[in-house]
């Protein structure tokens, strides 16, 4: 198998090792042009698993950095995840009840959809304007 880069062959270093094992069992050789890797040679057979392990280590270090960043953000009070729409819905209901603004104007201003506003108006048994 002739490829340009190893990272195009598998989705993860573990996947690459699995593919290499499969190739070895099937008698298939792998040549990566940009990575200068050739499993037809002794060096290539030795180097491929080593490169995959280094890739695994880099991925693990990346995950650790992300987790540390999330912990730091939480400690600083940063709200993680999808923004809560409750405040926007409350604002939309307030505008609906206290102004004569049209539904489309309200939902645009509050960054919600018309069905969301109608659903919450219905849940609260707020009468719709004629």
- Give the pLDDT band of residue 101 (cuts 50, 70, 90): very high
> What residues contact 101, with CB distance under 8 A and at least 6 apart?
95, 109
Domain positions in the chain are 2-75, 86-123
Largest CA distance in the chain: 81
Confidence of residue 127 (pLDDT cuts 50, 70, 90): very high
Name the pLDDT band for 54 (thresholds 50, 70, 90).
confident
Query: Where is pLDDT greater, at 39 or 105?
Result: 105
Q: What is the band of 84 on the pLDDT scale with cuts at 50, 70, 90?
A: confident
CATH topology for 2-75 is: Rossmann fold (3.40.50)
Retrieve residue 17's tokens: 């090792």
State the average pLDDT for the chain: 88
CB atoms within 10 A of CB 20: 20
CA distance linking residue 59 with residue 61, whole number of Å: 5
CA distances from residue 102 to 53, 86, 95, 96 in whole angstroms, order as listed: 60, 20, 10, 8
pLDDT tens for each residue of 1-48: 898 887 788 777 778 778 887 887 898 888 988 888 888 898 888 887
pLDDT exceeds 80 at position 61? yes
Please say whether the dihedral angle defined by the alpha carbons of residues 101, 102, 103 and 105, taken in this order, is positive or negative. negative
pLDDT at residue 5 in the model: 84
pTM: 0.45
């Amino acid at each position: 198998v002739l490829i340009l880069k190893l990272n195009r062959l598998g989705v993860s270093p573990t996947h690459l090792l699995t593919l290499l094992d499969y190739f070895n069992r099937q008698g298939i050789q792998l040549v990566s042009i940009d990575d200068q890797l050739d499993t037809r040679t002794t060096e290539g057979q030795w180097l491929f698993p080593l490169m995959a392990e280094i890739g695994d280590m880099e991925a693990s270090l990346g995950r650790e950095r992300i987790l540390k960043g999330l912990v730091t953000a939480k400690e600083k009070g940063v709200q993680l995840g999808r923004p809560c729409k409750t405040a926007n819905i409350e604002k939309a209901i307030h505008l609906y009840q206290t102004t004569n603004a049209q539904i489309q104007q309200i939902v645009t201003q509050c960054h919600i959809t018309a069905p969301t506003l109608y659903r919450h108006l219905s849940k609260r048994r707020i009468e719709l304007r004629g």
